[in-house]
Structure 1
Amino acid sequence: MTHFTANSPHARDIASVLHPQTNARKHRETGPTIMTHAEGIFVHDDAGNAFLDAGAGLWCASLGYSNERLAKVAYEAMKTLGYYQIFRHASHGPAIDLSEKLLSIAPVPMSKVLLQCSGSEANDSAVKLVWYHWHAQGKPEKRKIISRRGSYHGSTCVAISLTAKPEYQTGFGLPFDGFLYTDCPDYYRTALPGETEEDFSQRLADKLEALILAEGPETVAAFWCDPVQGGAGALPPPRDYFQKIQAVLRKYDILMVADEVICGFGRTGHMWGCQAYGMEPDMISCAKALSAAMQPISAVLLNERIYQSVLQQSDKYGAFIHGYTYAGHPVAASVALETLKIYEEIGMIGHVRSVEPVFLRELGALRDHPLVGDFTGIGLIGGLELVRDKATRENWPAEIGLGARVDAHARRNGLILRIVGNRIAFSPPLIITADEIRELARRLRATLNAVHHEVSAL
């Protein structure tokens, strides 16, 4: 067991903090990594180590880890109106301005914006709106929701039920009934021999239709999807996937909800991931880069069809009974609005597109490494598939702990990675330069070389 002095931040953390997605028993022995400050895409710990963060924190630090302009906006907003709620007909300028801005840049026509505090809350709220809509239409039995295996959509009880990753549900008595899962569109892992991407997409659309028919189309309310599947390790869809999926949804009048929490605001080289893949959702959830992670804020964008149902329910019940204390917080909304202005001023979308070829080329070049089976990506998001055998695509056995080994060696090389199963997911801050991408790839190759040498000796 590692020993810490009684008053060190490490010891105080162990004594007081319960960490999300952390092995509580192991944490008592190892303690935390204490981050102290940041510059651009680099974060520094209390031991003086600097790390290039290839994941932008939790996919979200789009402008890096410090921004004086946003700090000033937050300060001024806090002085002017440090808090007010948007319940019961109350409002304020930042909430109005941000909502108007989001509607003006939406990938498809949207009618209203529901401001929330996190991506999980946004997806949770969107589920309620789906159910609210079908109740308004006199179809309360249309309640089941389909998401995709390997997906992650949040940590509330409902959002984790959308999340088709059993390890996130174990021990909580979840998922709730009525949440269904269809295939993960992982062409590399699950395509049949000789199957083209288009044929693979059609097979998955056919399987979705079979699931809907087995459940009864009259009971299926919505389909949840992120444009690039973050929970599956930053997995882009195969060709024609969303076109074929949307055809099935329209056939049975099933709503599509696009989870843009990771992909929104430039990550794919488009303002929205929906634009990259021709998606036409009924609702959009967004967060993370909305405020460049500088403030906790999210939003649900809903189309006119859903809004008309809200109006009908208000006629029936008197009010839309839903909300969070800090939803539409004036400080968070001010920072988010300024973040969107910064994206426009610096040409963030153009920047992502300009460095995308370097990103795809430098990380794609690692396909020649003995540990790497494939790399797929778009914009500044992508995933590297780790394998034991390139020919058979065999995985390393769990007892080898490949992911933990990669993480440990990456830290020694000054690199923070996000490892999801057999994939390394990349989503660096959107401000990353071409030279920094090359440095990322250099550190990654050194990491993989060290891991390969280590596991080859086992």
Structure 2
Amino acid sequence: MAIPTPAFLAGFDQQELVEADKAHYMHGYHMFDEHREQGALNIVAGDGAYIYDTEGNRFLDAVGGMWCTNIGLGREEMAEAIVEQVRQLAYSNPFCDMANPAAIRLCEKLASLAPGDLNHVFLTTGGSTAVDTAYRLVQFYQNSRGKPQKKHIIARYNAYHGSTTVAMSIGNKAADRVPEFDYANDRIHHVSNPNPYRAPEGMDEEQFLEFLVAEFEDKILSIGEDKVAAFFAEPVMGSGGVIIPPKGYLRRMWEVCQQYDILFVADEVVTSFGRLGKFFSSLDVFDVQPDIITTAKGLTSAYLPLGACIFSERIWKVIGEPGKGRCFTHGFTYSGHPVCCVAALKNIEIIERENLLGHVEEVGSYLEQRLGSLRELPLVGDVRCLKLMACVEFVADKQTRELFPDKLNIGERIHLRAQAKGLLVRPIMHLNVMSPPLIISRAQVDEIVETLRECILEVADELQKSGQYTGR
């Protein structure tokens, strides 16, 4: 497919664009040495599940942008809704005593979709700011109810909750904890990653579950049950490697939270708006009624930036108690942005009208089945897939589960081969992670799996020939 050059690119040839990127654009998770040497893949167009670079190459985007292009790219009705709102009202102050109809209608809709009595919504600019808002809301709530000592947070190792200081501190991915940054650690604690594939030696899944629950309760008691305010958890851990916890894990952790008066914060930035076949997965998939849900990504299917912190009637009644004169001194210039809210409303309308949740149930089960066939391949230690969240973990030894040395960058090697064949997967050290758009077809699932199969076999052969892999 020939891609017409957009007007804003008309003054650049390809090499000039690469050099301008290297000279001026500092990316998220900027890898200084690699970017200096290789530059970036410059994307210029998108259509459904496909994206195109400035040279006209087409890629099946099995990453879904960053877990977020849920309804697919290039939707005309989304563009029309956005343009119409820009013409009518491009911005409205979201603070204090001002509102706009799009924000009001979106909050009303989110309250109707969220489980239980999660009827109150604070709109943010994305997932990280939604998590920051949840953290501050927990503080505000505990102070409002006269428990100023109850501020400690428990999360899991190798979680990802965003990239602001607080969100990154709540998350604890080893690869994200670079020494050049500082983290807020004094009231944030972590317990084990609930990854059955990496359970302690000799433990089956049921024993691992009991270990995790006991560890959580022990952590609460060691901190002091009167000091622990909230537990932050992704229902399925996304960037940490698509960690699907043992059956019953989240429900058991929630029960411990109920026992010790601890708020359960479900970070559904990735798992909401259809990725697991439901608008929200906490209750419908994992039988947990959270006190707070954070969401973003699929909320607008990435057409515009928006996030939300959705919380319970119980919290609202405490913080908004009449006669107290309280003010929640927290907000963002662009939260409740009318254009972003219209995009979210149109996105939800499309998901409902096209029954994309039902489609995910069907095509997601097919992806689970097809990806599972990769377990037989060399290099593949584990395949984890729940509907449209998937990960392949590569190991140097299948029996011991030993990883390849970091410097080998096995996930990147396979990703680059896939990219050359027109497939994008996300490399995270020894992992390839996938989160395709909800509109993906069975034929595109086949394309993902067969291309990945080819790349794994080619890399395994290359490593065996160089003596870096024994084939065990």
Bigger mean CA offset, 355-364 vs 160-169? 160-169
Question: 288, 292, 311: which one pairs with 1:283?
Answer: 292
Superposed, which structure 2 residues align to 1:356-371 within 5 Å?
A: 356-371=364-379
2:183 corresponds to which residue?
174
- After TM superposition, the runs of 4+ consecutive aligned structure 1 residues lying more than 3 A away are 4-7, 314-318
SS of the equivalent of 2:230 reads strand
| Equivalent AA in structure 1 for residue 340 of structure 2 | A
| Equivalent AA in structure 2 for residue 245 of structure 1 | M
SS of the equivalent of 2:232 reads strand
Structure-1 separation of matches of 2:184 and 2:422: 38
1:332 corresponds to which residue?
340
Q: CA deviation at 1:111?
A: 2.4
Tell me if 1:68 matches 2:76: yes
Kept in 2: contact 1:103–1:111 (CA 8 A): yes
| Equivalent AA in structure 2 for residue 229 of structure 1 | M
Kept in 1: contact 2:409–2:429 (CA 8 A): no
Structure-2 separation of matches of 1:136 and 1:376: 42
Bigger mean CA offset, 267-276 vs 120-129? 267-276
Structure-2 separation of matches of 1:454 and 1:189: 27
Q: CA deviation at 1:27?
A: 1.2
Structure-2 separation of matches of 1:449 and 1:7: 33
SS of the equivalent of 1:280 reads coil
Size of the alignment, in residue pairs?
A: 453
| Equivalent AA in structure 2 for residue 83 of structure 1 | Y
SS of the equivalent of 1:174 reads coil
Structure-2 separation of matches of 1:5 and 1:77: 34
Question: 203, 215, 220: which one pairs with 2:228?
Answer: 220
Superposed, which structure 2 residues align to 1:16-55 within 5 Å?
A: 16-55=24-63
Q: CA deviation at 1:185?
A: 0.3
CA shift in 2, pair 1:315/1:416, >3 Å: farther
Kept in 2: contact 1:290–1:336 (CA 8 A): yes
What TM-score do the two structures reach when normalised by structure 2? 0.93
Q: CA deviation at 1:269?
A: 1.6
1:131 corresponds to which residue?
139
Superposed, which structure 2 residues align to 1:54-453 within 5 Å?
A: 54-170=62-178, 171-193=180-202, 195-274=203-282, 275-312=284-321, 315-453=323-461
Structure-2 separation of matches of 1:365 and 1:378: 15
| Equivalent AA in structure 2 for residue 18 of structure 1 | M
Kept in 2: contact 1:114–1:299 (CA 8 A): yes
Identity among equivalent pairs (%) = 36
Q: CA deviation at 1:200?
A: 1.3
SS of the equivalent of 1:373 reads strand
Could you report, residue by residue, the CA deviation over 1:254-312 in whole angstroms, capped at 9, with x for unpaired residues?
10000000000111122212121111110000000000100100111110111112213
| Equivalent AA in structure 1 for residue 154 of structure 2 | I
SS of the equivalent of 2:59 reads strand
| Equivalent AA in structure 1 for residue 408 of structure 2 | I
Kept in 2: contact 1:187–1:238 (CA 8 A): yes
SS of the equivalent of 1:243 reads helix
| Equivalent AA in structure 2 for residue 331 of structure 1 | V
Q: CA deviation at 1:35?
A: 0.7
| Equivalent AA in structure 1 for residue 311 of structure 2 | L
Structure-1 separation of matches of 2:392 and 2:323: 51
Q: CA deviation at 1:84?
A: 0.2
| Equivalent AA in structure 2 for residue 264 of structure 1 | S
Q: CA deviation at 1:235?
A: 1.4
Give the RMSD, CA atoms, in angstroms: 1.6
Kept in 2: contact 1:228–1:273 (CA 8 A): no
Q: CA deviation at 1:393?
A: 1.3
Structure-2 separation of matches of 1:320 and 1:271: 28
SS of the equivalent of 2:98 reads coil
Kept in 2: contact 1:371–1:386 (CA 8 A): yes
SS of the equivalent of 2:443 reads helix
Q: CA deviation at 1:26?
A: 2.4
**Alignment gaps of 5+ in structure 2:** 1-11, 467-472
Kept in 2: contact 1:267–1:352 (CA 8 A): yes
CA shift in 2, pair 1:370/1:7, >3 Å: closer
Q: CA deviation at 1:191?
A: 4.2
1:457 corresponds to which residue?
465
Kept in 2: contact 1:233–1:421 (CA 8 A): no
Structure-2 separation of matches of 1:408 and 1:306: 47
